[in-house]
Amino acid sequence: MTELDFDRYDRIRPIRWTGDALELLDQRKLPFATEYVRCESSDAVGEAIHALTVRGAPAIGIAAAWGVVLAARSIEAVDGAEAARKLEPAMQRLHAARPTAVNLAWALVRMNRALGAAGPDWREVIESEATAIATEDLAANRRMGALGAAMIEPGSGVLTHCNTGSLATAGFGTALGVIRAGVAQGRIDAVFAGETRPWLQGSRLTVWELQQDGISPTLIADSAAAHLMKSGKVQWVVVGADRICANGDTANKIGTYQLAIAARHHGVKFMVAAPSSTVDMETASGEWIHIEERDPGELFAIGGVRTAAEEIGAWNPVFDVTPHQLIDAIVTERGVIEHPDEAAMRAAFA
């Protein structure tokens, strides 16, 4: 893809640093209102992460990095090591906002490491580090897009889940970056997006985001995915990840696992696209991933209108784990891992 192509398919920025505050595109209000929430403290950033004002593993990590910069405004320290000790409570609160997404912990560890090596200029050092995290994510997404698209045969249909685009990253997107690159190269003829209950990231965010780039997606109910695959209209399922384990198991938005099962049954290829910052080689397999559960009340209504009877119970896990045996390819900016397993993962990320 040329730079002109990138510009055409990369128009949305969910995170803006103003120099004194972090502005986050409020994804709860899309597609009907485009508003930014201004965060002037690290706790405001943590609340925005927990409340899904900002979402998507890479975007959460970037926001958390800027949260550390904001937390630094309230302390004094002679060097980075002292600052790191004083900032530890703020970093712990940021980490607790969304524990499943490994990018959040990764970004905080990276910020802490930069502090530990910094001298009296530690404030400038961490601001530069936060900028670098965002810049590197954008470059990684563009690289992933090219690598993933190259695997897709011209004329293909693809199905995606949740939102993995510019809204979930520094820009361009992970799985949606693959789709953008595939469309630009003429490899993808049809894009299908699952609605992604209960927060409807597919219907509220993904189809809107693709529309902004002149791509015409088709929205489907989550429960229509297997029937769509049976029709022969889809050759690839392309999704993102919030954590990739040492054996290639991946955690992603709830509903991903059932897509992988249906794809294997129907001979549809299954691709996971995520930056290397999502890879967690310290977690052996998906059995050890903490699965976040949110308020069951999120299941009782759509758009503020209650759809369930009163006084019933609900279970609301936010993520599920797809076993590596169901994944045909993991794509990161470092390259493509086909048929991932522990040996392949260690060869790529030792």
Residue numbers in the known binding site for substrate are 55-57, 98, 201, 252-253
Query: Among candidates 39, 45, 42, 47, which has minimal Cα distance to 21?
Result: 39
| Tokens 């502005």, located at residue | 23
Annotated binding site: 55-57, 98, 201, 252-253
* CA–CA separation, 169 and 205 (whole Å): 13
* CA–CA separation, 109 and 177 (whole Å): 26
Catalytic, 242? Answer yes
Catalytic residue among 242, 249, 280, 320: 242
Q: Which amino acid is at 267?
A: G
Query: Could you tell me which residues are beta bridge partners of residue 245?
Result: 280
Q: Return the sign of the alpha-carbon dihedral for residues 22, 36, 49, 47.
A: positive
Per DSSP, helices labelled H in the chain are: 3-8, 42-50, 57-71, 80-96, 102-116, 122-149, 175-184, 201, 207-212, 225-230, 256-266, 342-349
Q: Which residues are catalytic?
A: 242
